[in-house]
Amino acid sequence: MHQVTFAEAEYKLKRRITRREKFLSQMNTLIPWQRLEAQIAPCYPRGKRGRQPYPLSVMLRIHCMQLFYNLSDPAMEDALYEIESMRNFAGLTLSGPIPDETTILNFRHLLESNQLSTTLFGEINKHLAENGMVLREGTIVDATIISAPTSTKNKKKKRDPEMHQTKKGNQWHFGMKMHIGTDDTLGLIHSLDTTAANQHDITATGKLLHGKEKRVWGDSGYTGAEKREELKSKAVEWLIAEKRSRLKYRPCRTELRKVEKIKAQIRAKVEHPFRYIKNIFGYGKVRYRGLEKNTQRLFLLAGFTNLLIGKKYLLT
C-alpha cells in the first residue's frame, strides 16, 4: 500500500482548485489513454532484462504534460518534484521513484524514432469520429510561421540548415511553416505538413486534402492551386479569397464583396487551431533543430487541439 506523505496530506486539505488542476482533469477525461497506449505498447521495452521500465501509462502522461506546458526534459523532471498536481496526473508520489530527465528523453526519442506521434494523431481522430465528429465535405487550408532561433552559438557556428527566412509584410521571419487542413464545419485538423519558412503555402496543398471533400477554402495565397499538376485531377470547388489588389477597387456593396465576406467567415475556423498550438500550448517557437522532431511534436499538439475543440461533444 502507498503511504501518504505529509506533503500529500497537506495538499489534499487545500481549499482551492487551481487552473492547472482543472486543465489536467479536463485533459485526463478527454484523452483516450487506452487507445494511445495500445499503439505504443509494441515498441515499449518489456523489462525482461536489466532495469525495469516505468509503466507505459506513467511515461505517456509525463510526455503529454511536457507538451501541454512546452517544457524541456530537465524542466519536466523538476516539475514532477515540485508540483503535486502534475505528480497526481502521472500517478507518481514523492515516496516512490520519479523518472529523471534521461528517462523522459528516451521516451520522447522512442516516439520520434517510430513516428508514433503521427499514429497517435490518427488514433485521436478515429476516437473523435466514433463520437460523431466525422469529416464533412469541405476543407480549409492555411499555414503559419513558427520561429526558430537565429543564434549561431553552436559547434558548427551556423543556423539550423533546415530552417529558412521569409518576409511577411515588412518583417523577416526565420523558422518553419506548419500547414494544416481543417474541417470547414467543426474546425478539426485532419491533415498536417511542415516545410521551411521560405516555401510558398501553395506547395503543401496536395498533402492537406483527405480526398473526400467537395470544397476547398483558402486565403489569396492559394490562388491558382487548381492549376498545379498534383491538384488538376481533384474534383473539388476551389473557394479561394480574392486578392486585395483586385478587391480594393470594387464598391463596398457589390455581390463580390458579400461573397468574400462569407468566405472570410468560414476560413476563420482555421485560425482557432493555431491559437491553441501557439498560445494555449505555447509552441510559438520551435523546441528542436530540424523539421522532423518538431513535426512529430506538432502532430500530438494537433491531436490535443482537436480534443479541446470537440470537448463540448465529448463531455456531453
Please state which of the ranges 30-34, 52-56, 297-301 shows the lowest mean pLDDT. Answer: 52-56
Burial of 135 (0-12, 13-18, 19+ CB in 10 A): buried
Share of the chain above pLDDT 90, in %: 66
Q: What is the mean pLDDT of residues 103-120?
A: 95
Q: Which residue has the higher pLDDT, 268 or 151?
A: 268
The answer on pLDDT for 91 being more than 80 is yes
pLDDT at 7: 67
pLDDT in tens, 158-188: 888 899 999 988 899 999 999 999 999 999 9
Q: Which residue has the higher pLDDT, 295 or 150?
A: 295
pLDDT in tens, 210-229: 988 999 999 988 999 999 99
Please state which of the ranges 1-5, 36-40, 185-189, 216-220 shows the lowest mean pLDDT. Answer: 1-5
Integer Cα distance of 175 and 286 in angstroms: 8
Q: What is the mean pLDDT of residues 91-116?
A: 93
Integer Cα distance of 268 and 242 in angstroms: 15
The answer on pLDDT for 23 being more than 70 is yes
85 in Cβ contact with 20 (< 8 Å)? yes
For residue 312, what is its C-alpha cell? 463540448
Q: Provide the whole-model pTM.
A: 0.91
Q: Which residue has the higher pLDDT, 150 or 244?
A: 150
- Per-position DSSP letters for 151-208, written without gaps between them: ---STT-S--TT-EEEEETTEEEEEEEEEEEEETTT--EEEEEEEETTS-GGGGGGGG
pLDDT at 265: 92
Average pLDDT of every residue of the chain: 90
Identify which of 140, 130, 125, 59 has the alpha carbon closest to the alpha carbon of residue 92. 59
